[in-house]
Amino acid sequence: MHFIDCGPQHLEAIRGIFNEAIANTCSLYEYEPRSAEFMQTWFGSKQDAQLPLIGVEDEVGVLMGFASYGPFRTLPGYRHTVEHSVYVHSEFRGRGLGRQLLERLIQRAQASETRTMIGVIDTQNAASIQLHERLGFVPAGTLREVGFKFGRWLDVVLYQKVLTPPTTAAV
Protein backbone atom coordinates (compact mmCIF):
# COMPACT_ATOMS: atom_id res chain seq x y z
CA MET A 1 0.00 0.00 0.00
CA HIS A 2 1.12 3.54 -0.62
CA PHE A 3 -0.16 7.05 0.05
CA ILE A 4 -0.78 9.48 -2.78
CA ASP A 5 -2.17 12.89 -3.57
CA CYS A 6 -5.41 12.10 -5.36
CA GLY A 7 -5.94 13.45 -8.83
CA PRO A 8 -8.79 13.51 -11.36
CA GLN A 9 -8.16 9.84 -12.13
CA HIS A 10 -9.34 8.99 -8.60
CA LEU A 11 -12.68 10.77 -8.76
CA GLU A 12 -14.78 7.74 -9.70
CA ALA A 13 -13.26 5.69 -6.87
CA ILE A 14 -13.82 8.56 -4.42
CA ARG A 15 -17.38 8.92 -5.67
CA GLY A 16 -17.94 5.21 -5.08
CA ILE A 17 -16.68 5.50 -1.51
CA PHE A 18 -18.87 8.56 -0.88
CA ASN A 19 -21.93 6.94 -2.41
CA GLU A 20 -21.55 3.76 -0.36
CA ALA A 21 -21.35 5.92 2.78
CA ILE A 22 -24.42 7.91 1.71
CA ALA A 23 -26.45 4.74 1.06
CA ASN A 24 -25.42 2.76 4.12
CA THR A 25 -24.13 5.00 6.92
CA CYS A 26 -24.72 8.23 8.79
CA SER A 27 -21.22 9.45 7.99
CA LEU A 28 -22.81 11.83 5.48
CA TYR A 29 -26.24 13.29 6.08
CA GLU A 30 -27.05 13.12 2.38
CA TYR A 31 -29.81 11.14 0.69
CA GLU A 32 -28.87 11.03 -3.00
CA PRO A 33 -25.72 9.61 -4.58
CA ARG A 34 -23.18 12.15 -5.75
CA SER A 35 -22.99 12.60 -9.51
CA ALA A 36 -19.85 12.70 -11.63
CA GLU A 37 -20.57 16.40 -12.25
CA PHE A 38 -20.79 17.07 -8.51
CA MET A 39 -17.45 15.33 -8.03
CA GLN A 40 -15.79 17.43 -10.75
CA THR A 41 -16.94 20.62 -9.02
CA TRP A 42 -15.93 19.27 -5.59
CA PHE A 43 -12.47 18.32 -6.86
CA GLY A 44 -12.03 21.63 -8.67
CA SER A 45 -12.78 23.56 -5.49
CA LYS A 46 -10.18 21.48 -3.60
CA GLN A 47 -7.59 22.22 -6.31
CA ASP A 48 -8.45 25.92 -6.53
CA ALA A 49 -8.05 26.33 -2.77
CA GLN A 50 -4.91 24.13 -2.70
CA LEU A 51 -6.50 21.81 -0.15
CA PRO A 52 -5.07 18.33 0.42
CA LEU A 53 -6.76 15.21 -0.90
CA ILE A 54 -4.72 12.29 0.38
CA GLY A 55 -5.44 8.75 -0.77
CA VAL A 56 -4.17 5.29 -0.01
CA GLU A 57 -3.93 2.66 -2.73
CA ASP A 58 -3.28 -1.05 -2.53
CA GLU A 59 -0.47 -2.71 -4.47
CA VAL A 60 -2.53 -2.84 -7.69
CA GLY A 61 -3.75 0.76 -7.53
CA VAL A 62 -7.19 0.32 -5.95
CA LEU A 63 -8.11 3.37 -3.88
CA MET A 64 -8.81 2.07 -0.37
CA GLY A 65 -9.60 5.41 1.26
CA PHE A 66 -9.03 9.14 1.24
CA ALA A 67 -8.93 12.15 3.55
CA SER A 68 -9.25 15.86 3.06
CA TYR A 69 -10.13 19.08 4.79
CA GLY A 70 -11.76 22.35 3.92
CA PRO A 71 -12.88 25.55 5.57
CA PHE A 72 -14.72 25.15 8.87
CA ARG A 73 -16.64 28.38 8.24
CA THR A 74 -16.22 30.89 5.45
CA LEU A 75 -15.75 34.06 7.52
CA PRO A 76 -12.15 35.38 7.50
CA GLY A 77 -11.63 34.99 11.24
CA TYR A 78 -12.01 31.21 10.87
CA ARG A 79 -9.32 30.82 8.18
CA HIS A 80 -6.94 28.97 10.52
CA THR A 81 -9.58 26.34 11.34
CA VAL A 82 -10.47 23.41 9.07
CA GLU A 83 -13.09 20.69 9.09
CA HIS A 84 -11.72 17.36 7.96
CA SER A 85 -13.12 14.09 6.71
CA VAL A 86 -11.74 10.59 6.34
CA TYR A 87 -13.43 7.83 4.35
CA VAL A 88 -12.31 4.23 3.93
CA HIS A 89 -13.84 1.88 1.36
CA SER A 90 -16.13 -0.62 3.09
CA GLU A 91 -13.95 -3.57 1.99
CA PHE A 92 -10.86 -2.10 3.69
CA ARG A 93 -12.23 -0.88 7.03
CA GLY A 94 -10.71 -2.14 10.26
CA ARG A 95 -7.12 -2.18 8.95
CA GLY A 96 -5.92 1.09 10.47
CA LEU A 97 -6.14 3.01 7.20
CA GLY A 98 -8.32 5.73 8.72
CA ARG A 99 -5.71 6.40 11.36
CA GLN A 100 -2.89 6.57 8.85
CA LEU A 101 -4.86 8.91 6.60
CA LEU A 102 -5.80 11.19 9.49
CA GLU A 103 -2.20 11.26 10.75
CA ARG A 104 -1.05 12.43 7.31
CA LEU A 105 -3.83 14.97 7.16
CA ILE A 106 -2.78 16.37 10.55
CA GLN A 107 0.78 16.70 9.23
CA ARG A 108 -0.48 18.59 6.17
CA ALA A 109 -2.59 20.89 8.32
CA GLN A 110 0.36 21.56 10.60
CA ALA A 111 2.56 22.41 7.61
CA SER A 112 -0.07 24.83 6.28
CA GLU A 113 -0.17 26.69 9.59
CA THR A 114 -3.65 25.51 10.44
CA ARG A 115 -4.39 26.16 14.10
CA THR A 116 -7.38 23.91 14.72
CA MET A 117 -8.90 20.83 13.10
CA ILE A 118 -12.57 19.99 13.65
CA GLY A 119 -14.24 16.64 13.09
CA VAL A 120 -18.04 16.57 12.91
CA ILE A 121 -19.02 12.99 13.76
CA ASP A 122 -22.38 11.24 14.07
CA THR A 123 -22.66 10.25 17.74
CA GLN A 124 -23.33 6.62 16.74
CA ASN A 125 -20.02 6.36 14.84
CA ALA A 126 -17.99 4.81 17.66
CA ALA A 127 -15.07 3.86 15.39
CA SER A 128 -14.56 7.46 14.25
CA ILE A 129 -14.91 8.82 17.78
CA GLN A 130 -12.34 6.32 19.04
CA LEU A 131 -9.96 7.18 16.18
CA HIS A 132 -10.16 10.88 16.93
CA GLU A 133 -9.60 10.37 20.65
CA ARG A 134 -6.55 8.18 19.97
CA LEU A 135 -5.05 10.97 17.88
CA GLY A 136 -5.53 13.63 20.54
CA PHE A 137 -8.82 15.17 19.47
CA VAL A 138 -11.10 16.18 22.34
CA PRO A 139 -14.89 16.52 22.44
CA ALA A 140 -15.94 20.13 21.94
CA GLY A 141 -19.72 19.80 22.07
CA THR A 142 -22.75 17.87 20.96
CA LEU A 143 -25.39 19.19 18.61
CA ARG A 144 -28.64 17.35 19.19
CA GLU A 145 -31.10 16.41 16.46
CA VAL A 146 -29.37 18.46 13.76
CA GLY A 147 -29.65 15.77 11.08
CA PHE A 148 -32.33 13.41 9.86
CA LYS A 149 -31.62 10.18 8.01
CA PHE A 150 -32.98 6.64 7.91
CA GLY A 151 -36.17 7.80 9.62
CA ARG A 152 -34.59 9.21 12.76
CA TRP A 153 -33.11 12.38 14.19
CA LEU A 154 -29.33 12.37 14.47
CA ASP A 155 -26.87 14.04 16.83
CA VAL A 156 -23.32 15.04 16.02
CA VAL A 157 -20.35 15.51 18.29
CA LEU A 158 -17.63 17.99 17.45
CA TYR A 159 -14.06 16.84 18.02
CA GLN A 160 -11.24 19.39 18.06
CA LYS A 161 -7.47 19.23 17.91
CA VAL A 162 -5.46 22.38 18.49
CA LEU A 163 -2.21 22.25 16.54
CA THR A 164 1.02 24.15 16.94
CA PRO A 165 0.18 27.84 16.62
CA PRO A 166 0.71 29.40 13.21
CA THR A 167 3.88 31.45 12.94
CA THR A 168 1.76 34.24 11.52
CA ALA A 169 -1.88 35.06 11.97
CA ALA A 170 -2.07 37.97 9.55
CA VAL A 171 -5.43 39.40 8.65
Average pLDDT for 91-104: 97
Q: What percent of the chain has pLDDT over 90?
A: 94
Residue 140 inside a domain? The answer is: yes
Whole-prediction pTM value? 0.93
Least confident of 101-105, 112-116, 152-156: 112-116
Q: Is residue 168 part of a domain?
A: no
| pLDDT tens digits, one per residue of 123-145 | 999 999 999 999 999 999 999 99
Q: What is the dihedral of CA 109, 41, 21, 3, to 10 degrees?
A: -40
The fraction of the chain above a pLDDT of 70, given in percent, is 96
Query: Would the pLDDT of 94 be above 80?
Result: yes
In a domain, 145, yes or no: yes
Count up the domains in the chain and report the number.
1
In a domain, 169, yes or no: no
The range of the structural domain enclosing residue 53 comes to: 2-162
Q: What is the pLDDT of residues 7-64, one digit of tens each?
A: 999 999 999 999 999 999 999 999 999 999 999 999 999 999 999 999 999 999 999 9
Q: Is 53 within the bounds of a domain?
A: yes
- Residue 165 in this model has a pLDDT that exceeds 80: no
> Is the pLDDT at 169 greater than 70, yes or no?
no
Q: Is residue 156 part of a domain?
A: yes
Supply the CATH number for residue 114's domain.
3.40.630.30
Spatial contact of 89 and 65, defined as CB atoms under 8 Å apart? yes
